[in-house]
């Protein structure tokens, strides 16, 4: 596959099986967290087929052109460039989303927030929701797809992120129900807007810890979407403080935060007048992940 591997014997072609084995071992040696999965996703991308098809084509030999494309991707992944950026997409809530280095890669943890929002809206024939920091659009798009008649107001300070979010909304056919705003948190939203929920996955990594993150994250994902200030809660506190005028009575506030600072955010939330029913929700891995509260 590369200069780091021995030249194959003439009787030993680079089949799908052999390439998967070699690439998995190579990624393991380079410290990738999910070496086999990474190898499968990249090879399926090069061959333009579902991952499951790799096992149907186990004995298929790759062409030199296919091997060349894969070689470049393997080199970049070995340098800890995220697979999602290499293939230009990531699955979230069972849906494919286009991603670039301008947006945070959607993660399974965030599905906890979407599930909580959909549960809150399940008895609403129509609803409006604000999402702050829309990024790729994963939260707004997934919510709109699964909640008929839901209208989203999606805000991001990055024009590049908004471009990706608009594309994902159009790809999934919900662009007519999502209005996008460029600006800082609530600033670009119209005066007098009141909604059924405010949701956000704001930056919540402590500034001092940014350089301790995995290379995949610190060297490639947008710092703008990660840096939450000294204690990671700069954005969370501002959202908690500023959400009340935008929430209808009994409206829901949902914030995704880190397990290491969500309790501090909950304490701050409890100190603010106007909120009730404050809860912390756990993600699928059992980690405290989403802070939930209702406006009085």
Residues 124 and 270 both lie in one domain: yes
Six token digits for residue 160: 């590049």
Tell whether 162 and 31 lie within a shared domain.
no
In a domain, 6, yes or no: no
Q: What is the pLDDT of residues 236-289, one digit of tens each?
A: 999 999 999 999 999 999 999 999 999 999 999 999 999 999 999 999 999 999
Domain boundary among 46, 79, 112: 79
> 60 with 113, same domain?
no
Is the whole-model pTM more than 0.95?
Answer: no
- 258 inside domain: yes
Residues 32 and 139 in one domain: no
20 and 163 in a single domain? The answer is: no
Alpha carbon distance 161, 136 (integer Å)? 6
The answer as to whether 134 is a domain residue is: yes
Q: Determine the pLDDT at residue 1.
A: 57
Does a structural domain hold residue 87?
Answer: no
Give the CATH number of the domain where residue 231 resides: 3.40.50.150
Candidate from 5-19, 46-60, 83-97, 156-170 with smallest mean pLDDT: 5-19
pLDDT digits (tens, 9 = 90+) for 143-179: 999 999 999 999 999 999 999 999 999 999 999 999 9
Contacts of 271 (CB under 8 A, 6+ apart): none
Question: Does 7 map to a domain?
Answer: no
168/45 same-domain check: no
Q: Is 189 left (phi over 0), alpha (psi -120 to 50) or beta?
A: beta
Please check whether residues 105 and 47 belong to one and the same domain.
Answer: no
Query: Could you give the C-alpha distances from 121 to 48, 92, 126, 127, 143, in angstroms and in order?
Result: 38, 20, 8, 7, 10
Strands (DSSP E) found in 171-295: 178-182, 195-200, 247-256, 275-282, 288-295
Contact 239, 271 (CB under 8 A): no
Q: Domain tally for the chain?
A: 2
* Residues 140 and 262 grouped into a single domain: yes
**One domain, residues 136 and 31:** no
Q: Which residue range forms the structural domain that includes residue 46?
A: 16-79
Q: Please report whether residue 240 resides in a domain.
A: yes
Instruction: Map residue 211 onto helix, strand or coil.
Output: helix
Look at the block and give the residue holding tokens 């914030």: 255
Looking at the fold, whether 68 and 179 belong to one and the same domain comes out as: no
Examine residue 11 and state whether it is found in any structural domain, yes or no. Answer: no
**225-247 confidence digits (pLDDT tens):** 999 999 999 999 999 999 999 99
Indicate if 71 and 194 belong to the same structural domain.
no
In terms of domains, do 259 and 183 share one?
A: yes
Establish if 91 belongs to a structural domain: no
């Amino acid at each position: 596959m590369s200069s780091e591997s021995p030249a194959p014997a003439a009787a030993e072609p680079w089949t799908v099986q052999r390439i998967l084995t070699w690439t998995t071992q190579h990624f393991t040696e380079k410290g990738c967290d999910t070496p086999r999965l990474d190898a499968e996703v990249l090879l399926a991308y090069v061959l333009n087929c579902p991952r499951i098809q790799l096992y149907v084509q186990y004995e298929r030999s790759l062409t030199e052109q296919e091997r060349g494309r894969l070689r470049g991707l393997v080199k970049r992944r070995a340098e800890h460039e995220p697979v999602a950026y290499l293939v230009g997409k990531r699955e979230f809530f069972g849906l494919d989303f286009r991603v670039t280095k301008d947006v945070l890669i959607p993660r399974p943890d965030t599905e906890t927030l979407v599930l909580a929002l959909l549960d809150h809206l399940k008895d609403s024939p129509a609803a409006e929701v604000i999402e702050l920091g829309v990024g790729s659009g994963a939260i707004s798009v997934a919510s709109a797809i699964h909640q008929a008649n839901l209208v989203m107001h999606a805000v991001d300070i990055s024009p590049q992120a908004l471009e990706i979010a608009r594309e994902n909304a159009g790809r999934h056919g919900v662009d007519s129900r999502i209005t996008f705003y460029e600006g800082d948190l609530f600033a670009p939203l119209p005066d007098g807007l009141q909604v059924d929920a405010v949701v956000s996955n704001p930056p919540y990594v402590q500034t001092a810890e940014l350089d301790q993150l995995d290379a995949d994250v610190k060297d490639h994902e947008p710092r703008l979407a990660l840096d939450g200030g000294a204690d990671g809660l700069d954005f969370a506190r501002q959202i908690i403080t500023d959400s009340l005028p935008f929430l209808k009575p009994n409206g829901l506030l949902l914030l995704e935060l880190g397990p290491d600072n969500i309790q501090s955010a909950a304490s701050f939330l409890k100190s603010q007048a106007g909120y009730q029913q404050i809860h912390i929700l756990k993600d699928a891995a059992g980690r405290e992940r989403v802070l939930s509260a209702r406006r009085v």
